[in-house]
């Protein structure tokens, strides 16, 4: 442990001054994270693994823990009295809390359990969150507030449920990570002002989808795999299948994580990952750590969403690696 243990709440008091409202909302997200971590640790014993049998608005099979964690997030954010709207992967429509509107300051978009395909195999999963300021009043404004571009975020991050539970957060003054100290139930700062290396040696992508990748991405990944000592190639490959886990490694060690656009009938022409509660919050974190986050041709934080569950292609990570990917997508390399 660091010689001076800095707790999350202490850190948030400093970064989220003067009102402390943002600190309160982030504190509630931390509480939700602790509850989800506890439930994950015993889900195989408490019968919470497996599916509900339902299909969500994305057409995906819903896991019991997806819904359970969604309820925990909603309750924790409601209890802050500072959130008047929520967008979640597990809720078809944005949730509006009219009775909170008067004093509320924020709209929160979140993915309660990211990497759900890892849940039943005891793999690493995460929770992703994105906080935008409330601009207007009433239900009509909620949609507009929830549709603000990523550049409007005031804070974003994720909670990773791995060998340790870690909360990684950016609130405008760099990126810090907090590890849950289970014996005291407190998030303690373990990584301060994280800076992503400008270039890495790892690429992370589901290569089984290569046949439907757009040509520029195919050539880029081929380039990374080609041996050339002078340019530090070949890169090696790592893919957990949970964006939180793959992004966290990329943040600490550098390199590039991709979920590109795809061609063809069943191809995911806009990629798979959702802008408001997967791509934009991760882009906010990575840019605050000195990295770059693109669709392959456009800065993710500049995209104005047209729907709460909109998907975007994702190329994110070390500045030089992502810039190179954009060169390949543009056909300049």
Binding site for ligand FBP (CB under 6 A): 60, 89, 111, 114-117, 206, 241-243, 259, 272
CB neighbourhood size of 14 (10 A): 11
CB of 256 to ligand FBP, least distance (A): 13
Structural tokens at position 159 = 């909670």
Least distance between ligand FBP and beta carbon 156 (Å):
16
Contact at 8 Å (CB) between 207 and 194? Answer: no
CB-nearer residue toward ligand FBP: 12 or 273: 273
Min CB(234)–ligand FBP separation in Å: 21
Minimum CB separation from ligand FBP for residue 212, in Å? 11
Min CB(260)–ligand FBP separation in Å: 11
Q: Look up residue 312 and give its DSSP letter.
A: -
Q: Which of 196, 300, 198, 302 is nearest to 258 (CA)?
A: 300
CB nearer ligand FBP, residue 111 or residue 287: 111
| Cis upstream peptide for 273 (omega within 30°) | no
User: Least Å distance between CB 11 and ligand FBP?
Assistant: 26
Alpha carbons 322 and 251: distance in angstroms, whole number: 13
- Are 306 and 275 in contact by the 8 Å Cβ rule? The answer is no
Q: What are the residues whose beta carbons fall under 8 Å from the beta carbon of 134, sequence distance 6 or more?
A: 84, 85, 101, 104, 105, 106, 107, 141, 145
Instruction: List residues bridging with 262 in a β-sheet.
Output: 213
Q: At what angle do helices 21-46 and 8-15 cross, to 10 degrees?
A: 150
Query: What's the min distance (Å) between Cβ of 89 and ligand FBP?
Result: 6
Whole-angstrom CA distances from 183 to 43, 191, 201 are 20, 19, 36
HEC per residue, 70-98: HHHHHHHHHCCCCEEEEEECCCCCCEECH
- Minimum Å gap between C-beta 60 and ligand FBP is 5
CA distance 242 to 44: 19
Least distance from ligand FBP to the Cβ atom of residue 31, Å = 21
First to last CA, the chain: 46
Among 169, 164, 152, 156, smallest CA distance to 303 is for 152
Contact 168, 176 (CB under 8 A): yes
């Amino acid at each position: 442990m660091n010689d001076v243990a800095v707790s999350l709440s202490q850190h948030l008091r400093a970064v989220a001054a003067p009102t402390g409202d943002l600190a309160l909302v982030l504190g509630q997200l931390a509480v939700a994270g602790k509850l989800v971590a506890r439930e994950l640790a015993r889900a195989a014993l408490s019968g919470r693994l497996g599916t509900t049998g339902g299909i969500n608005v994305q057409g995906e099979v819903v896991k019991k823990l997806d819904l359970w964690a969604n309820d925990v997030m909603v309750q924790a954010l409601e209890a802050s009295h500072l959130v008047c709207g929520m967008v979640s992967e597990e809720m078809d429509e944005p949730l509006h809390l009219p009775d909170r509107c008067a004093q509320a300051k924020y709209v929160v978009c979140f993915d309660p359990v990211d990497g759900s395909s890892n849940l039943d195999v005891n793999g690493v999963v995460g929770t992703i969150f994105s906080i935008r300021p409330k601009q207007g009043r009433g239900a009509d404004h909620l949609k507009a507030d929830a549709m603000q571009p990523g550049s409007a975020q005031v804070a974003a991050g994720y909670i990773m449920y791995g060998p340790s539970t870690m909360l990684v957060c950016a609130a405008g003054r760099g990126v810090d990570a907090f590890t849950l100290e289970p014996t005291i139930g407190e998030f303690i700062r373990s990584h301060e002002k994280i800076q992503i290396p400008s270039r890495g040696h790892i690429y992370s992508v589901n290569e089984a989808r290569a046949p439907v990748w757009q040509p520029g991405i195919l050539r880029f990944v081929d380039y990374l795999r080609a041996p050339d000592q002078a340019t530090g190639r070949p890169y090696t490959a790592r893919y957990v299948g949970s964006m939180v886990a793959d992004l966290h490694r990329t943040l600490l060690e550098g390199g590039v994580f991709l979920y590109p656009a795809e061609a063809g009938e069943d191809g995911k022409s806009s990629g798979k990952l959702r802008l408001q509660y997967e791509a934009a919050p991760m882009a906010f974190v990575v840019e605050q750590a000195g990295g770059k986050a693109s669709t392959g041709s456009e800065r993710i934080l500049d995209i104005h969403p047209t729907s709460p569950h909109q998907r975007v292609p994702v190329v994110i990570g070390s500045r030089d690696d992502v810039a190179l990917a954009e060169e390949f997508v543009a056909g300049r390399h």
